[in-house]
Amino acid sequence: MPERTFNSDAACWKELKQGNPEALGYLYDTYIDRLFHTAFKMTDNRELAKDALQEVFIEIWHYRNSIGEVNHSHSYLAKVLKSIILKKVKTKMIINALSDNDHGTEHDDNIEQIIISADFATEQKGRLQKALSQLTSRQKQVVRLRFFEGLTYEQIAVKLSMNYQSVNNLAFRAMLNLRKQMQPVVQ
């Protein structure tokens, strides 16, 4: 059976949600190389990167009915990939902590520290999401393109039909706002 092509990513996601396995294959073939590069950059571990990539597409298939509208396929897949890698790394840290230590207070302190670190990371993520919601739509767009899609300021300027300096100014103001929102609350 010949491989099916989709005239847009939106059509592909629609087909995927309807249970068409060819849509999953299309997403895999289209994005696997870029996603592997992202995973390998995050982990510096080929096997972990490969495992995480497999899980991305397993999860996409498994949860296809609950996926909302996807406007940027690579960004969406990269976000799923990063989430999976973070879970794997956190699990590996806990397993290493358990196997490296003898039973006792030191062991309990390390587990407690890992749990505290995980809670802190979750809290920081929530604070970052809240801070991002305070930005203007243009600032959000620049932050998303720069930090989530990895575009340079020059590429962003072209993509948004803006001049380079305007993009720099938007990014600067966005980062100032984010830093202000992310400052620890002193009581």
pLDDT at 34 over 90: yes
68, 108 in Cβ contact below 8 A? no
Q: Does CATH number 3.40.50.360 belong to domain 1-102? A: no
Q: Which among 135, 116, 122 is positioned nearest to 181, based on CA atoms?
A: 135
What are the sequence ranges of the domains in the chain? Answer: 1-102, 119-187
pLDDT of 162-187, one tens digit each? 998 999 899 888 888 888 877 765 44
Indicate the pLDDT class of residue 4, thresholds 50, 70 and 90: low
Phi, psi of 100 (to 5 degrees): -80, -20
Length, in residues, of the chain: 187
128, 182 in Cβ contact below 8 A? yes
pLDDT of 80-97, one tens digit each? 998 888 887 777 776 666
In this prediction, residue 147 carries a pLDDT of 78
pLDDT at 33 over 60: yes
pLDDT of 100-152, one tens digit each? 554 444 545 566 677 777 777 777 777 778 888 888 999 988 888 887 777 88
Q: Does CATH number 1.10.10.10 belong to domain 119-187? A: yes
pLDDT of 48-87, one tens digit each? 888 889 999 998 998 888 888 888 889 899 999 988 888 8
